[in-house]
Amino acid sequence: MQAQIRLGRIFGIEIGLHYSWLIIAVLIATSLSGHFSEAHPGWEATTVWATAIITALLFFAAIIVHELSHAFVARLRGLPVRSITLFALGGVAQIGKETGDAKTEFWMGLAGPLTSALIGALCLGIAWMLGWSVPGEPATPVMAMVVWLGYINFGLAIFNMVPGFPMDGGRVLRAVVWWITGNATRATRAAAATGQFIAYGFIVLGILRFFGGAGITGLWIAFIGWFLLSAAHASTAQAEVTEMFRGVRVADLMTRDCTQVDGNTNLQTFVHEFLLHTGRRCFLVVEKGQINGLITLNEVKTIPQARWPFTTVYDVMVPMERLRTVTPETPATEALEIIGRENIHQLPVVSNGHLEGMISRDQIMNQLLIRAELKK
Ligand SMILES: [Zn+2]
């Protein structure tokens, strides 16, 4: 999930919004204003709307805090955290690496629901100090706000503890099975299976309620089920890739023979004698045995064909210092992750400032297919 609107950074973690979030933000603010005006017929329209909008914003802040709690545990256990993105159905923290052990997975999963429950308790505590008591109606806008936030955060904590992928509870379940059996693949299957079972449950329940006269609420429940189902598939696939590549390093997959080209070659010659002739898409640019950069089809495409005879490889290459590189010791999954994130085709493999080889998207994908075949 890529953020399209950037909000800024908290503790170095990029916080952003996906466009789909805007729809849900409007929906939540509207339904909150409906809720407040029904519960408090005496309130003026501006009070109702102001309360609804501030409550909705605080709700999204609480979701960011929930995701930050996952991120903090990840950081504590040495996993890099890149960003947090809010989208239509919640938030997602992008962790740069998969967890390597059951304990980390357990605490990372549990941190979110625990945080939501704490926020819920805090909000209801404030409401109580303001004079609210169960089951009384909150009297003031501030009270109404904290009561709603209290309930919704408890709701989030419970919903997130549903023990199936992709919910936090699924991570916790996977960690527990992993810890007991010592088998990460089996743990993934268990979390995936319960996740799918629960997702189908939501879909069936939603459809039944729709035909039972619940209308749009029923469709919403079915839609959440469908979302959970596709997310369960995706997180299972990701966990399986990680499993297949457990212990596999870049050095095991990379090619060591890289085709080199002289930097002074013009693009006309480069295209005909190198690109078309060899069928490769990536070349190292060298001068006196020294590697200066990398040139691929993408760089050539930025120059109009008429300019090719007058442009050298040097002019358009990606210089060494701008290249994203990996070491032979980098885990294969991490290389794949970098390739996907930066939307590139290959990565130079560098060790002690010396180029060892190249690793490409195709090489990793081929290995993946072979390994998947062998597992059958
Ligand atoms: Zn969570």
pLDDT in tens, 99-135: 678 888 899 999 999 999 999 999 999 989 888 777 7
Find the range with the poorest average confidence among 175-179, 197-201, 313-317, 358-362.
358-362
Dist. CA 159 → ligand 1 center (Å)? 10
- Flag whether pLDDT at 80 surpasses 70: yes
pLDDT for the residue numbered 115? 96
Q: How far apart are CA 53 and CA 45, in angstroms?
A: 12
pLDDT for the residue numbered 79? 83
- Flag whether pLDDT at 344 surpasses 80: no
Q: How far apart are CA 296 and CA 208, in angstroms?
A: 55
DSSP single-letter state for residue 331: B
Name 31's Cβ contacts closer than 8 Å, sequence gap at least 6: none
Instruction: Using a pLDDT cut of 90, give the percent of the chain over it.
Output: 16
Dist. CA 69 → ligand 1 center (Å)? 8
Largest CA distance in the chain: 83
Dist. CA 161 → ligand 1 center (Å)? 9
Is the Cα torsion angle 271, 277, 283, 285 positive or negative in sign?
negative
Dist. CA 92 → ligand 1 center (Å)? 7
Sheet holding 318-319, edge to edge: 260-262, 282-287, 290-296, 318-319
Radius of gyration of the chain (CA): 26
Dist. CA 268 → ligand 1 center (Å)? 53
Q: How far apart are CA 344 and CA 341, in angstroms?
A: 8
Dist. CA 32 → ligand 1 center (Å)? 23
Q: Where are the alpha helices (DSSP H) in the chain?
A: 19-39, 45-76, 102-129, 141-160, 168-181, 184-209, 216-244, 250-253, 267-269, 276-278, 297-301, 313-316, 332-342, 361-375
Q: How far apart are CA 4 and CA 16, in angstroms?
A: 7
pLDDT for the residue numbered 37? 87
Instruction: Please state whether beta strands 290-296 and 318-319 pair in parallel, antiparallel, or not at all (unpaired).
Output: antiparallel
**Residues 218-232 pLDDT 10s:** 888 888 888 888 878
Dist. CA 248 → ligand 1 center (Å)? 29
Dist. CA 342 → ligand 1 center (Å)? 25
Dist. CA 109 → ligand 1 center (Å)? 7
Find the range with the poorest average confidence among 14-23, 85-94, 206-215, 254-263.
85-94
**Residues 136-162 pLDDT 10s:** 677 788 888 999 999 999 999 998 898
pLDDT for the residue numbered 65? 92
Dist. CA 16 → ligand 1 center (Å)? 16
Name 167's Cβ contacts closer than 8 Å, sequence gap at least 6: 159, 160, 161, 195, 228
Dist. CA 115 → ligand 1 center (Å)? 9
Dist. CA 78 → ligand 1 center (Å)? 19
Closest CA to 25 of 70, 68, 63: 63
Instruction: Using a pLDDT cut of 70, give the percent of the chain over it.
Output: 95
- Flag whether pLDDT at 318 surpasses 70: yes
Dist. CA 71 → ligand 1 center (Å)? 10
Dist. CA 52 → ligand 1 center (Å)? 24
| Whole-prediction pTM | 0.70
